[in-house]
Structures are given as C-alpha cells and as structure tokens.
A and B are shown apart, each in its own frame.
Chain A
Amino acid sequence: MQLTEQQIERYSRHIILQDVGGKGQLKLNRAKVLLIGAGGLGSPAALYLAAAGIGTIGLVDGDVVDLSNLQRQILHSTATIGQPKVESGRKTLNAINPDISIKTYHQLVDADNILPLIKEYDVVLDGSDNFTTRFLVNDACFFAGKTLISASMFRFEGQLTTIKPHAGYPCYRCLYPEPPPAGLVPNCQEAGVLGVLAGTMGILQASEAIKEILGIGETIADKLVIYDALEMKFRKVGRPKDPSCPLCGPNPKIKDLTLDYTVSCTI
C-alpha cells in the first residue's frame, strides 16, 4: 500500500513530523479503531481520528440523536435529530474525510455481540455512559487482547487511561475492582456535565489511540489521568497491576463474559 498524491497532500502535516512520517501515516491509514458510544466522548474522538486518516472507524451506539445531546455531541447536528447517532456520525465523518471507511452498528453492546465486534479492530475507545458497559468492554478487550483507551467524565471532571493487560499493564478491574451499586452516584443526565469537557477528554482519547497505533511517546497504561476543568489541573496517579485481580491476575475468577453485567447501570 502506497500513499496517493492526494493523501500525501491531505496528511502532509503528519508526514513531515519525524515521529510519524510516511510510514506512520500508512500505519494510521491501515488502522481500525472501534468507538463504543458516538456521544460526548465518541464525537470529538471520531472527528480527529477521521481527520487523521484512521482507515476504518467503527461506531457502535444504540441511540438516536436528541436535542439535549447537542450541547456536547459535536458529531451530530440539529438537522440529524431523530436519526440513529451512528448514521448521523457517518455523514459527518465522511464529509471530513471521504478517504476512510466508516462502519456503523446501531445497537447496544452486550456479552453476546461484543467479542465478534471488537475482533475486527486494533484499538477500542470506550466512551460509554454506564458502568455495565465499561466492565463488559474491559473484560472483552482483555479476552480479545485489544488495546482499550478509556475515558469518562462527571460534571467538571474527567478520567483517562490506556488499558493493555496483554502488554503486561493493569486492566480496568485493577483500578476499580467493582462498580458502585445502582443509585449511589447520579448519572450525567441527573448530575449534568460541562459540554466542552467531553471535547477535552474525547480528544485526549484520540491522541492516546494515535500514539498507541504509531508506537510513539509515553503510554499512560500505568497511570490514571485526572482532569479538573474548574481548577484547570491535570494530575497523574500511579495505576499498578493488582495481583489479586479477578480478570488479569494469576488466579482469575472471570474466565468468560457470562457474568451478570447488568448489576449496576448508574454512576
């Protein structure tokens, strides 16, 4: 595979970067990235991944565009209210870059459909809005050996980490062994979220995904990044591997996706 003249021009600002170059751009053009959720985090991430020339972008989301989404979900517009988010997203991404392939899955991920889905991709971005999905995506990526870039947000605060236990790093369960019981913490709909925070966190996810694909820079797989928009502070804390982790530890209790993942769906 060679870059065409048009591609060389489109991606020229990447290609002249020493750490990317033509070879790096080809890696991006060949990469397949799956976005779980085409909402607050998935929107900005998808826009930049498409612009960067990620060859195949998969969008999974079971929702349709709602007026209350548009305060932060910049993949969608007033004109696409009522349409499936994945279809609305496909149009936006194709307009930015017709050079790439967008695959859409208008469905929720569950224990039955997630493994065949993520098998087709190199990197997965979790931009889902509930703990049930986050634990399921973590476990599925572990079994499939896929790198997962996880971000989440609450009001004015965001968290970000890269999860790749197949490379010796901790998984999501090493960080948070269990989800909170339902009802203990309000979800975004009840608690609110600063719209632009979704942009900050989603774009950081895209940045880490591109770094992982190119194999450049420092991975954050052993760190948790915490961003506080009000204080304008980024902090990084250590994220060690848990030797008693029920998923990626030496004596795993979780050996497949047959757990009851629906125990909690609020944060």
Chain B
Amino acid sequence: MIKVRIPTPLRPLTKGQGEVEAQAGSIASMIETLDQAHPGLKDRLCDETGELRRFVNIYVNEEDIRFLKGKETSLNDGDEVSIVPAIAGG
C-alpha cells in the first residue's frame, strides 16, 4: 500500500481526507487508481494531454518526481507520496 497525502485544495475531492491509500506500482497508475476512487482528481493533477500540471509537484518520500522519472517513477510498498500544489496566499 502507498500512502498519499492530499493537500488542502484537493480535499473536497477526498471527502476531506488528508491522507488516502492506493495500491500502485507507479505514479501514473496511482493517479488512475485515485481517480477511480475520487473522480476528478486526475483532472486537477494532469492537463488535457495527460501531462502533470506545472504548478503541482508530486513527491515520493521527499523527492520531487520531476527529478526522478516523472509519471513513470516506480512506487514500492510503504512509500509515502505527497501532492503539493503551488499556493500564493499572503
């Protein structure tokens, strides 16, 4: 199981949950799995072409997947994934 941390702006899609679990071998499959359980999540993370949006970062155990293998970054049992969108409130 992978633990996925959901940021405040996306919690309306997870019924307010800050953390959800997923069974997935890669970030791409994690996004598909999450979207089935929480419809609309994929749209918030990916653009029309399926690429990750440039103002949303995904971290696997504190490493930004843009500097790993992007959506193809593999996941192992026990990994912790964080979704971190840019925020601008001051």
Question: Which residues of A are in contact with B by a Cβ distance under 8 Å?
Answer: 37, 39-42, 126-131, 134, 151-157, 159, 175-180, 185-188, 191, 193, 224, 226, 228, 230-231, 235-240, 242, 267
Contacts and interface: CB of A to CB of B under 8 A. Distances in A.
B8 A178 contact: no
B90 A154 contact: no
A110 B86 CA distance: 21
B55 A180 contact: yes
B18 A178 contact: no
B42 to A, nearest CB: 14
Q: Is the interface of B mostly helix, strand, loop or mixed?
A: mixed
A130 B88 contact: yes
Contacts of B66: 242
Interface string B1-36: 000000111000000001000000000000000000
Interface residues of B, number: 22
Nearest to B55: A180
Contacts of A39: 90
A188 B89 contact: yes
Given A157-B8, A180-B53, A240-B67, A267 B88 contact: yes
Nearest to A151: B90
Contact of A238 (B7, B53, B54, B63): B63
Nearest to B60: A237
A40 B87 CA distance: 14
A154 B89 contact: yes
15 contacts: A129-B88, A131-B86, A134-B88, A152-B87, A152-B88, A153-B87, A153-B90, A154-B87, A177-B54, A180-B86, A185-B9, A191-B9, A226-B84, A235-B62, A239-B64
